Amino acid sequence: MPRWLSLVDGPQTLGRGPAFWFVLGVIVLVAALLPTFVNAFAITNLTYFLVWVFMALGLSLIWGYAGILSFGQTAFFGLAGYTYGVISINLGDAGLWTWFALLLSLVLPAMLAILVGYFMFYGGVRDVFVGIVTLSITLVFETFMAQTAGPEWTIGSARLNGFNGMSNMPPLTFPWGENPIIFDGTSLFWLVLALVVLVYVGLRILVNSRFGNVLVAIRENPERAEMLGYNVRLYQLFVFVIGSVLAGLSGVLYTLWGSYITPSSMGLTAAALPIIWVAAGGRKDITATLFATVLLTWLSQQLAVKGSQYALIWMGVILLVVVLFAPEGLFVTVWKKLRDGRRMRQRATAPKTVSLPSA
């Protein structure tokens, strides 16, 4: 355990030392106390912003650390959301059935990722072609689900409802005597916040471990990594599965948040947004990805009030600015400039020693 905890401050992530963790702890504490200061509507919105963090972190792991550009995050997102809806509607919220539905909703994206990833990576699909394959899977899944509006598209008591989507899924429920704990509203916010912290810390340990170092080596030069004896395809498959499960977790939490899921959540626009979030923050760092995702989803919501086209236009502008002026990501670029400026000031203010020549 001490060795694992030492990895949270490793070289593959920005932000290290007591000052960083103190600031991050204060942010988490303030977020946890927000329900006592703001209304329920604000907490619902904040939950919505945090829900997308898991999918973005998974893409950062796949794309930023392993160098695999995937447009398939929303396919796993939708699969997990629909799976939870079908199982929970049929089994209900008694006992621990909703948690069983949650678990199975993460298993199915993992199985699909293993299947797709095996044929891609062991079949020699590389570079931009991985993006084409994953985008095709996403669009096929969206098109299929949009055509399930008829009464024949029913699984037990759950109707898929086509383009209108599924609704009325039961929330997560934990039996507790005569008053079961229902994760809705504030309790769901606390659950999502706790999951964000656990996943973030877990990913920091992962990317700073030997596994993360190998991923970076594969990203920089897969041929050299393979010549050094690493099973490149196995590493790529493994990281692809992890990222897909995280996308599935976002899908389940999104379904729990709004009690609905629609095929539009797997469309072309939905597939492009995680790419923008990760690229804007800094795809090679999960800390930048986390804060960029929350900020940009908030910005998208504010712009969508004036019209959905404004949100899309500005997301496109942000991506264009990042590609042209900050290819490492806005957050990472600003962080490095501040760090370099601080180091220069420290060198300028450091006392200079003058050595006298010996007699």
User: Whole-angstrom Cα distance, residue 252 to residue 273?
Assistant: 18
**pLDDT tens digit sequence for 217-253:** 999 999 999 999 999 999 999 999 999 999 999 999 9
- In Å, how far are 55, 152, 159, 236, 244 from 86, measured between CA atoms? 21, 15, 8, 31, 20
Distance of CA 154 to the CA centre of its chain: 30
What is the pLDDT at residue 52?
96
Angle at which helix 308-325 crosses helix 268-281, to 10 degrees, equals 40
Residues pairing with 49 in the sheet: none
Higher pLDDT, 356 or 201: 201
Residues pairing with 166 in the sheet: 261
What is the pLDDT at residue 358?
56
3-class DSSP state for residue 167? strand
AA letter at 140 = V
Q: Is the distance from CB of 256 to CB of 307 less than 8 angstroms?
A: no
For residues 321-338, give the mean pLDDT.
Answer: 84
Q: Are strands 166-167 and 172-174 parallel, antiparallel or unpaired?
A: unpaired
Q: Which residue has the tokens 């829900």?
A: 51
Residue 258 has pLDDT above 60, yes or no: yes
Percent of the chain topping pLDDT 90 = 60
pTM: 0.92
User: Whole-angstrom Cα distance, residue 38 to residue 310?
Assistant: 28
User: Whole-angstrom Cα distance, residue 21 to residue 321?
Assistant: 30
Which spans in the chain are helix H? 2-6, 18-33, 40-51, 53-59, 73-91, 97-121, 128-146, 186-207, 210-220, 222-227, 232-258, 268-281, 286-304, 308-325, 330-349
What is the pLDDT at residue 315?
86
**pLDDT tens digit sequence for 23-45:** 999 999 999 999 999 999 999 99
For residues 325-339, give the mean pLDDT.
Answer: 83
DSSP output for 178-202: TS-EEE-THHHHHHHHHHHHHHHHH
User: Whole-angstrom Cα distance, residue 38 to residue 286?
Assistant: 28
- Secondary structure element (H or E) that encloses residue 261, with its range: strand 260-261
Q: How many CB atoms lie within 10 A of CB 256?
A: 26
- In Å, how far are 81, 108, 133, 233, 245 from 114, measured between CA atoms? 19, 10, 14, 12, 11
- Which sign, positive or negative, has the C-alpha torsion 38, 41, 47, 49? negative
User: Whole-angstrom Cα distance, residue 298 to residue 306?
Assistant: 14
User: Whole-angstrom Cα distance, residue 236 to residue 130?
Assistant: 12
What is the pLDDT at residue 235?
95
Average pLDDT of the chain? Answer: 89
For residues 138-148, give the mean pLDDT.
Answer: 91
Residue 353 has pLDDT above 90, yes or no: no
Name the pLDDT band for 308 (thresholds 50, 70, 90).
low
Tokens encoding 336:
């490095």
Residue 70 has pLDDT above 70, yes or no: yes
What is the pLDDT at residue 90?
92
Tokens encoding 225:
């990594």
3-class DSSP state for residue 328? coil
Residue 354 has pLDDT above 60, yes or no: no
What is the pLDDT at residue 356?
54
User: Whole-angstrom Cα distance, residue 322 to residue 313?
Assistant: 14
Residue 324 has pLDDT above 90, yes or no: no
What is the pLDDT at residue 195?
96
For residues 116-134, give the mean pLDDT.
Answer: 91
> Where is average pLDDT lowest: 58-72, 77-91, 143-157?
143-157
Percent of the chain topping pLDDT 70 = 95
Residue 162 has pLDDT above 80, yes or no: yes
Q: Is the distance from CB of 316 to CB of 275 less than 8 angstroms?
A: no
Tell me the residue length of the chain. Answer: 359
What is the pLDDT at residue 71?
92
**pLDDT tens digit sequence for 168-223:** 899 999 888 778 888 998 999 999 999 999 999 999 999 999 999 999 999 999 99
Higher pLDDT, 48 or 5: 48
Tokens encoding 158:
């759950």
User: Whole-angstrom Cα distance, residue 187 to residue 182?
Assistant: 8
For residues 117-145, give the mean pLDDT.
Answer: 91
